[in-house]
Amino acid sequence: MSGPAHGFDETMISGYLDGELTQGDTQRVRLHLEGCDGCRRLADDLRKLSDATMATDFRTPSDTQWDETPRTSASRLFHTSSWILGMIWVIGLVGFVVYQIATDGESTRFDGLIPLGLVATFGLAVLSALIDRVQTRKTDPYRKVKK
């Protein structure tokens, strides 16, 4: 169908379907399609493909996602880390309490880890919020507007 023997530049079919050809080329393609079954089938198939593709809808996250201040990678990392650390801390705290009850409160080996975990968790969360604040200040178009 394509190539020198065929004598027709098949890529023009796409340009024709998309309305991107000059008048002369459009006319040339139209005449060719009238006399060439293979190219006409190709054009019909491509038209069908394009129509179905254009009519597709994709599921997107809820609109509220875009209302939030866009987060930078660093902010997201700290935010996620603080949540993970927080969960580990809660599990550790529960384990520690159970351990204390089981051993009658004799051991103090893990005492230091409890406040440390709490500080680290809140520290990461604050850091994440701080990065967001700085980012917002940089990108906020109203930052120069006096309240």
Which residues bind to another protein, rule: CB under 8 A?
10-21, 26, 29-30, 33, 40-50, 52-61, 63, 65-67, 70-73, 76, 135, 138-139, 141-142, 145
Provide the 10 A C-beta neighbour count for residue 84.
11
- Tell me how far apart the alpha carbons of residues 126 and 82 are, in angstroms, rounded to a whole number: 9
Q: Which is nearer to another protein, 101 or 145 (CB)?
A: 145
Closer to another protein by CB, 58 or 115: give it. 58
Rounded least distance, CB 60 to another protein, Å: 5
Burial zone of 73 (CB within 10 Å; 0-12 exposed, 13-18 middle, 19+ buried): exposed
Which residue in this structure is represented by tokens 């949540």? 83
Residue 11 or 103: the one with the smaller Cβ distance to another protein is: 11
CB 137 within 8 A of CB 94: no
Beta carbon of residue 47, minimum distance to another protein (angstroms, whole number): 5
